[in-house]
Chains A and B, each alone.
Chain A
C-alpha cells in the first residue's frame, strides 16, 4: 500500500523564484478560519502523485509509516536536525505542539524543502478542520419518530410487536446513556429503592450492578423464548428477580472492568426484540415465570420496559444526567399494565393479611365494587379497578372511590420511589379503598 510518505523527498525543491509557502502558526482551538478554495495538495514536479489513503485503511497505514528516529532529538543539540527528524515533527509543528527550538528549526527547513513545505501547509490546513465534538444529545424521542416515518414509507414484513416497542425504545435510550458514560461513572453508587409491601426498602449498588440486575431479570424472559440464560451455570434453580439478581451480583466482583455487563445486557435486549418479532403474535400469551407469579410474555415485555426506564432513571440521577420519560403511547401501555395487575396484587395482599377482607363478592366476570383510577398527563387515561376480586370486572357504575394523580406520580409510586402516604393524589369516596389501591400500587415494585 502506498503511504502518505511515499512522495516525501521525491519532489524537487521549489524552482528559481518559486519559494515555498510557509503557513502561519495554528490558530487557537476555537478559531476556524476560512478553508482554502482548492484542495491544498498541488501536484508539482514529476514525482508520483500523492495518494491519500481512505481513513478506514488507516491501521495498515499506521504500521507502515517511518522508521523510528529515536536518538536524533536527544543529547547535545546537533548542528541541524536531519530532514527525516524535521519531517517527523511536521504534525506536532502544525499543532503548535513542539518546543520553540524545534519550531524554529522546522520553519527554517520549510524555506529549503518544498516537499516538507507542501506537507506543512496541508497539515496546517487540516488543523483548521478539527472541531470540538458536538455536545448535542440526540433527542431520545427522535428514534420513535424516525422509525415510524420509515415504517410508513415501507411497511415491515417482520414488524416488532406493539407490546415489545416500549422495551425496544427504553433499552435503546438506556444504551445511549451508557455509551455516553466514562468508566468511572460505571462505578458510581446507585441506591435502588422499592416498597416491600409494608415499608420502603433500599439497596446500594453501582451503575454496573444495576445493568447486571436488568440483564439477570430480562434473562427470565429470554429463557422463556428459548434464548440462553445470561447467568449460565450461576442461574439459581428457581426463577425470581431477586434470586437471579443476587446470583449475578455474586459473579460480578470477579470482573475488573465495570462496563463488563453493558454488551451482554444490550445484546440480550436486542435478541429479545428480534426473537419476539420473528415469533410474532403467537407468543404473546406465552407464560413467563417470575417466581411468585407468572406474566404473559406481552406483559413481561411491558414490565421489562417499565423496569428499564425506572432503573435508567436511577442511573441518570446517580451520574447527574437528564433523562426523559417514555413517549406518551408507550407510557400509556405501562400504566395500563400496572392498572391491570392491581386486582391480583390486592388479592395477594389480602392473603398476606395486609388488606381488609373483600366487602362484596360477585360472580366471576360480573361487575364488582370498583375504584376509578384517573391518571392525568402524558400516557394517562381512566381505569376501573375491581377491588374485591381479580375475577370481578371493574366498572364505572360500581365505582365507590375516585383517585386522580399525575402519570409521573403514579409511575414513581408503582416503582416504589415514593410511599403511598406521601403520594400527591386527588381522592373522593371510600378512603379505605383508596388507601388499599395506593399501597397495592407501591407493592407492584420490587428489586
Chain B
C-alpha cells in the first residue's frame, strides 16, 4: 500500500480511504465532538498521508496505528486551536491564567485519552472486545458472559481482566505537545507508551 501511494496511484488512495475513513472520522469525532470538524480532519489526514506516504515507517508499527496516530495528533491540534479561538472570542486576550491553562490541558488530555481508548478497543483481539461488550454494554455478569461466549468462567474472567488492562494503557501517554517534537529517548525504567512515537506531521522521515 505504501509503495502504491508513493508512486502516485489514485486507486490506492481510494482503497486507503475505504479501509481507514471510519476509524479516522470516529477518532476525530471523539476528540472534537463535531461532525463538520471531523469531516475536515478526515480531509487533512488523508491529504497528509497522500502527500507524505514515505513518512510511514513499518518498523514503528502497523499502518493502522500510524493512521490513528496522525488523526489523534491533527484532531488534538485542532481542539487546541478551537479552544484558543473561543477564549479569544470571550475576550480573554493576553496570557491565559494558570487556571484556564490547566483546564485546557486537562480537556486536551481527556480527549486524547478517549481517542486512544477507542483505538485500543477497535484494535484489541475480538474475543476480548466481545467479552467487554457483553459485560459492560449488555450488563452480563462474567458467568453469563462465559455462557454467551461458550467459554469457561476462568476464560471469561481472564478476557475481561486482560481487555481492561489493555484499555488502561490509553492513560499511558503525555498530552501531545503543541509544537511537534521528537520524543526523548527513554531509560530502561520509564514506562513505554503503548504506541511508538506519536506519528504525525513533524515526526516523519520526510521532514
Q: Output the least CB separation between A176 and chain B (Å).
A: 8
How many A-B contacts are there with CB distance less than 8 Å? 239
Q: Output the least CB separation between B5 and chain A (Å).
A: 10
Most central of A50, A54, A89 by chain B CB within 10 Å? A54
Contacts A53-B169, A134-B29 known; list 6 others, CB within 8 Å: A58-B125, A95-B135, A98-B141, A125-B168, A130-B121, A151-B50
Most central of B47, B123, B189 by chain A CB within 10 Å? B47
Q: Is A425 an interface residue (CB 8 A)?
A: no
Residue on A with the closest CB to B39?
A142
* A residues adjacent to B (C-beta < 8 A): 4, 29, 34-37, 39-41, 43, 49-56, 58-59, 61-62, 65-66, 68-70, 73, 88-92, 94-95, 97-99, 119, 122-123, 125-127, 129-134, 136, 138-139, 142-143, 145-147, 149-151, 153-160, 168, 172, 175-176, 270, 273-274, 277
Which residues from chain A contact B137 at a C-beta distance below 8 Å?
29, 130, 132
Q: Count B interface residues, CB 8 Å.
A: 79
Residue on A with the closest CB to B106?
A37
Which residues from chain B contact A150 at a C-beta distance below 8 Å?
13, 43, 46-47, 50-51
Instruction: Classify the secondary structure of B's interface with A.
Output: helix
| Inter-subunit contact A29/B136 (CB<8 Å) | yes
| Inter-subunit contact B10/A68 (CB<8 Å) | no
Q: Tell me whether A91 and B15 are in contact in the complex, defined as CB-CB below 8 angstroms, given that A56-B62, A145-B43 are known contacts.
A: no
Q: List 19 A-B contacts (CB under 8 A).
A: A55-B169, A58-B124, A58-B166, A61-B162, A68-B154, A68-B155, A91-B163, A92-B157, A92-B160, A95-B136, A98-B142, A127-B136, A130-B117, A130-B167, A132-B137, A143-B18, A146-B47, A150-B47, A156-B13
Determine, out of B20-28, B81-89, B92-100, the stretch whose residues face the partner at the interface. B20-28
Residue on A with the closest CB to B191?
A49
| Inter-subunit contact B11/A270 (CB<8 Å) | yes
The 4 A-B pairs at the shortest CB distance, nearest first, are namely: A91-B161, A157-B8, A91-B160, A129-B117
Q: Output the least CB separation between B140 and chain A (Å).
A: 7
Bound-state Cα–Cα, A36 to B172, Å: 12
* B residues adjacent to A (C-beta < 8 A): 7-11, 13-15, 17-18, 21-22, 25-26, 29-30, 35, 39, 42-43, 46-47, 50-51, 61-62, 65, 106, 109-110, 113-114, 117-121, 123-125, 127-128, 132, 135-137, 139-142, 145, 152-173, 189-192, 194-195
| Inter-subunit contact A131/B11 (CB<8 Å) | no
Which residues from chain B contact A270 at a C-beta distance below 8 Å?
11, 15
Contact of B167 among A61, A70, A129, A138 (CB under 8 A): A129
Bound-state Cα–Cα, A65 to B39, Å: 40
| Inter-subunit contact A146/B42 (CB<8 Å) | yes
